[in-house]
Structure 1
């Protein structure tokens, strides 16, 4: 066996240990492994997003307050993602999926409110949350969340019609 194969085997073993879930039900274990994989991806995404805000500030493209406020939102999700990953590994899969989805959902709502309301770029982040809810919880969750997003956006568009793009 060459060195590349042994390195791959070592990495595969570490990855499997990272996303492993301690539950007796095979379907719940599959869901837990998928959720844990998404938590690792989520941690990478929010870390990259936070670093992007810091880089934008470092390059002088935005004021410090706006950059650090922008970085605070994704940074808040690093401990949430890691907490959900750790708890799901212990067998608390479904409650952690629900916790992550709803915290993420309301975090995005707050970010959209803080950053430009109806014109905020944060609206596209709902795709991630609604997809996870629909895939790992139930399609009904995705439908309810979509309804809440539409209602929220309609509320803001009627509250500040002048904020809509022309």
Structure 2
């Protein structure tokens, strides 16, 4: 009869151990699901960041409001950014300067664009655009007011 009591006691211990292990298994599975969800969220965020970085590298200029009016922002020139990031007017200016090869004056660019270069003040907006391109490293401005392309 002692053997039967020992077997019953051992079975009771094993049942208790099995219940504890089942409880622990549920806790581990719940934590594992939380970790899996966290991993999925981080992967999604990383994909969004990568997609945003790719878009930022190829996106058209960003419109902004300056003094209540719409204005296009000119991005700084960097290795992974090409001319497509510039507004069309700025791309035209850059193409004219590139085609000239040598340093070019604002007046010559204005003539190429068909502006009335003989009318006083007609070149000031063009000069401002070219200066802005120089400020953002798309063009290089020489001391004599001429512009060349940055290479």
TM-score range relative to shorter protein:
0.3 to 0.5
Which has a greater percent of strand?
Answer: 2
Q: Which has the larger radius of gyration?
A: 2
State TM-score, norm by structure 2.
0.32
State TM-score, norm by structure 1.
0.30
Which has a greater percent of helix?
Answer: 1
